[in-house]
Structure 1
Amino acid sequence: TRLTGLEMNVLVFDPFAEQSTENKNISFSTFPNKLEECDFLVFTCALNADTWHMLNQQTLALLKSGAFVVNVARGQLIDENALIASLESGHIEAAALDVFDVEPLPRQSKLIQFEKCILGTHNASNTTEAANRASLVAIDKIGRFLHEQ
């Protein structure tokens, strides 16, 4: 709804979503059909046997050149090596990730080298208590890291 308010076309790949909509800017398809139409590919799905590495070398190649990839769901939805290769070649313009194949993201990960790769921390719970607890844990880890340097 928010994206269509900005007059963006939204293509939904969700086999469980209600497919009746009065909004002309929302359409439905099955993955990976119509990937070539996507400027942004945003993952918000669960990880299971059908979704593991659903974004891989073959499906990345279907995306239009210059597309953006966002994963705020589960790290193993994306084959990171294939994403890295697509970022290196310039086929994928940029990525925003707050989940990774291996967590925490290893310091030697090539994902860190890309200026157009935004890396964040995933917070699955948005209650006030959970956000406060996650903030305290993050502050503690940053303090221990800086002390080790």
Structure 2
Amino acid sequence: MLVKEIDLPGIGRKFVMETKAKGKMIVIVHDNGTRELYIPDPADPDERLSVGSFTDDESRKLAGIIGGMAYKPKALENLDIEIDDLVIEWHRIDPDSEWIGKTIGELKVRQTTGVSIIAVVEKEKKNIVPGPDFRFVGDSVLVIAGERQHIKLFKELLAIKA
């Protein structure tokens, strides 16, 4: 996706995005946190149609939905997202993993691998933002973020069976 950024003095910043499929969107991020989303008018591509105005909290929820934090289609379970050097991936914990019953803090996940566990989705569809006292459960899906070399180490450690 091609993204152009334009400063809007006294207002905020404008982002013009063009997708690989040649779709266009414009997002204006106001200094007060409000976001506005626009798309071209099909009848007149030089005109823009307002899709909506979102608060900071609404924008973050929308970003989470679009980014796959709220729901990840089964076909995309092994897909990763890369933003500069940051990689976000989804990994299922095997029920036989030595991690089962242990906490993030006990395993020192971030200190050992350099990876942060940013979310956990459990079988009962509970979404959790885990802290150091979170105990691993089999078949949960971990949403992790880190640099590619750190993710590789994380996957090696996660694959160890009890």
TM-score (normalised: structure 1):
0.31
Which protein has the bigger strand share? Answer: 2
